[in-house]
Amino acid sequence: MHHAPRMNFGHVMLFIRGKTNAERLTVLTYGDGKRGDFPLLIKPGGAFSDTINISFAPMQFGTDLTKPFHSETIVKAYLDSEEFDTTLYSGNLQYE
């Protein structure tokens, strides 16, 4: 009988906060290969803060899980008909 290889996923908690003049903010993640699109609640005055759980599939970074890897998260801001984005880069990440 053939068994599928066990997939261990990693998780990173993204703590994000700031202030914006945008009408809408979203956080895009690709940690597990699947796009995640999370809206951020903007409070009166433009403040925002949230915690987002980002999952990582080990195979997207190769088969050697002992080596560090990096990932990125994109924050998109929408104002009127314009869209702006900025990329947040992780430091070294590693499976334990």
Task: Return the domain boundaries, the chain.
Answer: 10-89
How many helices (H) does the chain have, and how many strands (E)? Answer: 0, 6
| 37 within 8 A of 76, measured Cβ to Cβ | no
**pLDDT average, residue stretch 57-85:** 81
More confident: 54 or 2: 54
User: What is the pTM (predicted TM-score) of this model?
Assistant: 0.73
CATH assignment of 10-89, among 2.60.40, 3.40.50, 1.10.3470, 3.90.1310: 2.60.40
Q: What is the pLDDT of residues 38-47, one digit of tens each?
A: 899 999 999 9
Structure tokens at 90: 């992780």
Q: What is the pLDDT of residues 11-33, one digit of tens each?
A: 778 899 999 999 999 998 765 55
Question: Helix or strand or coil: residue 90?
Answer: coil
